[in-house]
């Protein structure tokens, strides 16, 4: 059972992230695929905020992982593997140890850089910009005038475990699809 949804704007993205947070168990691994600028980090930040985490939620592009403690005693690890040159960097960084903890949600951007080493993946989230030609054809000056411009995205979630399938079932029920 796959779920696909078109997100037209940041409000829809935030609502979708909130709905995702409502259905996730306290132990799950989700990987996020998409080109640079596809919206992986934005969706993840909104999921983290949906758990009541406040303050600066930053991209782990340079730190590789950021950890957040929620008010309901769930730990969220946000990984960004974009800067990996070799999948062994996963082991060198000790990331395999993050997946042995209970009450832990692991959200991973650029999983392809260490796919063979990531423990059981419950969801694969693919994000595609639908009208990216507008971004490519606009000059920087035009883009500055349209800072509120947010191209539509197609988000597809594919479950890979029984837990992942159950979460999709619950998410579809909440979203009435």
User: What digits encode the pLDDT tens for the residues 144-164?
Assistant: 444 456 789 999 999 999 999
User: What digits encode the pLDDT tens for the residues 86-101?
Assistant: 999 999 999 999 998 8
How would you write the chain as a 3-class SS string? CCEEEEECCHHHHHHHHHHHHHHCCCCEEEEEECCCCCCHHHHHHHHHHHCCCCCCCCCCCCCCEEEEECCCCCEEEEEECCCCCCCHHHHHCCHHHHHHCCCEEEEEECHHHCHHHCCCCCEEEEEEECCCHHHHHCCHHHHHHCCCCCCCEEEEEEECCHHHHHHHHHHHHHHCC
Q: Using a pLDDT cut of 90, give the percent of the chain over it.
A: 76
Q: Does 136 have pLDDT greater than 50?
A: no
* Predicted pLDDT of residue 138: 46
* Predicted pLDDT of residue 132: 57
Burial of 177 (C-beta count, 10 Å sphere; 0-12/13-18/19+):
exposed
For each of the domains in the chain, give its residue range(s) and CATH number, in order of start.
3-175 (3.40.50.300)
Average pLDDT over residues 69-88: 94
| Predicted TM-score (pTM) of this structure | 0.88
């Amino acid at each position: 059972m796959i779920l696909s949804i078109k997100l037209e704007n940041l409000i829809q993205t935030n609502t979708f992230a909130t709905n995702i947070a409502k259905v996730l168990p306290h132990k799950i691994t989700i990987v996020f695929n998409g080109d640079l600028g596809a919206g992986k980090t934005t969706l993840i930040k909104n999921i983290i905020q949906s758990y009541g985490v406040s303050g600066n939620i930053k991209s782990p592009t340079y730190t590789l992982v950021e950890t957040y403690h929620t008010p309901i005693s769930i730990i969220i690890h946000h990984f960004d593997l974009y800067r990996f040159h070799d999948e062994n960097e996963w082991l060198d960084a000790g990331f395999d140890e993050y997946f042995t903890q209970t009450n832990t949600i692991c959200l991973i951007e650029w999983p392809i850089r260490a796919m063979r080493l990531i423990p059981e993946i419950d969801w694969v989230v693919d994000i595609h910009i639908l009208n990216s030609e507008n971004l490519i054809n606009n000059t920087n000056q035009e883009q500055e005038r349209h800072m509120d411009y947010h191209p539509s995205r197609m988000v597809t979630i594919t479950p890979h475990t029984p837990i992942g399938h159950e979460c999709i079932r619950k998410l579809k029920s909440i979203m009435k699809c």
